[in-house]
């Protein structure tokens, strides 16, 4: 569809390396028999020479293509909770690898699983202000404790969105957010592994209460009824959580998008954009795509 501002390109990258969950469950049966229920499928794993920077570059190259004009890109945003450098501009490293102009602005965005959606909204505001195109990248490679549910649930990957005003393929027509310091997990400075709270608490008191608020705000801003949503994207490793949210928000069950957890796991910050790239590749003109993500509250974007 044609529009003034929105998404003009998208891309994704998932490492080829896979970890079979059944192998992990079998190896730890003596120690953690409770993992048996998570023995199905595989999760993606970054190889020894991959990290969020290299994966972000790969996703960006997928979005840009080999011959795309890159001088129009004036801002690059890199969203992640596992950036390799604490005091170095990670986005600047990515910009150099993509041979973007040195005059662009490069920004790191972190601190929440919904950092990528925040970057999209910030990037869209920049496009509307006339600064030029914005390249939003998201990547994560989270470390986990052996024989933990996170070792089986997490995956590694990256996604990219190119925002602009020429050749728009999807317009962002609604946005909603709920910024609440609900602690479902956290990782203090100097630590490598997340500390996670009990799953039922996170699901019932966090996701089920906060995400519908963000979704409702996005729908209201766009003036779109919940029944008009054609694709609902919500990254989660909780079984049937997407369907529960759809029912709670009045969205059709048939609109729920497969989260790809059985094949690649839940990749963290980039997962919402990764699933969005998959949907944009097959969505029909005029369809409504609702993207939401949980983290320090919740955020939702509605695209048409």
pLDDT on residue 198: 87
pLDDT score of 258 more than 60: yes
Q: Do domains 6-164 and 172-303 have the same CATH topology?
A: yes
End-to-end CA distance of the chain: give it in Å, rounded. 8
pLDDT on residue 2: 43
- 94 and 60 in contact (C-beta within 8 Å)? yes
pLDDT on residue 225: 97
CATH architecture of 172-303: 3-Layer(aba) Sandwich (3.40)
pLDDT on residue 199: 87
When comparing pLDDT for 252 and 199, which is higher?
Answer: 252
Mean pLDDT of the chain: 94
Average pLDDT over residues 10-32: 95
pLDDT on residue 252: 97
User: With pLDDT > 70 as the criterion, what percentage of the chain qualifies?
Assistant: 99
CATH fold for domain 6-164: Peroxisomal Thiolase; Chain A, domain 1 (3.40.47)
Q: How far apart are CA 274 and CA 206, in angstroms?
A: 23
pTM, whole model, 2 decimals?
Answer: 0.95
Selection from 126, 109, 114, 105 nearest residue 52 by Cα: 109
pLDDT on residue 280: 96
pLDDT on residue 1: 41
Domain ranges of the chain: 6-164, 172-303
Phi-psi category of residue 168: left, alpha or beta, with phi > 0 → left and psi -120 to 50 → alpha: beta
Phi-psi category of residue 99: left, alpha or beta, with phi > 0 → left and psi -120 to 50 → alpha: left
Question: What does the pLDDT look like over 26-75, one tens digit per residue?
Answer: 999 999 998 998 999 999 999 999 999 999 999 999 999 887 779 999 99
- 270 and 140 in contact (C-beta within 8 Å)? yes
pLDDT score of 269 more than 70: yes
């Amino acid at each position: 569809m044609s529009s003034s501002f929105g998404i003009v390109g998208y891309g994704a990258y998932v490492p080829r390396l896979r970890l079979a969950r059944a192998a992990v469950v079998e190896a730890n049966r003596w120690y953690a028999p409770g993992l048996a229920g998570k023995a199905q499928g595989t999760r993606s794993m970054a190889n020894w020479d991959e990290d969020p920077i290299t994966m972000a570059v790969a996703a960006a190259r997928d979005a840009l293509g080999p011959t795309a004009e890159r001088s129009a890109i004036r801002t690059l945003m890199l969203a992640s909770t596992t950036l390799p450098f604490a005091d170095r501009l990670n986005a600047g490293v990515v910009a150099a690898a993509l041979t973007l102009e040195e005059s662009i602005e490069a920004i790191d965005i972190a601190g929440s699983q919904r950092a990528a959606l925040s970057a999209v909204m910030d990037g869209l505001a920049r496009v509307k202000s006339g600064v030029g195109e914005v390249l939003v990248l998201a990547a994560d490679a989270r470390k986990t404790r052996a024989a933990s549910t996170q070792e089986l649930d997490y995956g590694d990957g990256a996604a990219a969105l190119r925002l602009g005003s020429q050749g728009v393929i999807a317009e962002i027509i609604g946005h909603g957010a709920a910024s609440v310091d609900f602690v479902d997990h956290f990782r203090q400075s100097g630590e490598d592994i997340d500390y996670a709270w009990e799953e039922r608490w996170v699901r019932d008191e966090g996701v089920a209460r906060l995400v519908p608020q963000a979704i409702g705000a996005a729908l209201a801003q766009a003036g779109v009824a919940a029944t008009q949503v054609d694709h609902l994207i919500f990254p989660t490793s909780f079984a049937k959580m997407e369907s529960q949210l759809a029912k709670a928000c009045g969205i059709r069950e048939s609109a729920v998008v497969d989260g790809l957890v059985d094949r690649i796991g839940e990749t963290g910050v980039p997962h919402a954009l990764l699933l969005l790239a998959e949907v944009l590749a097959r969505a029909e003109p005029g369809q409504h795509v609702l993207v939401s993500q949980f983290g320090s509250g919740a955020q939702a974007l509605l695209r048409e």
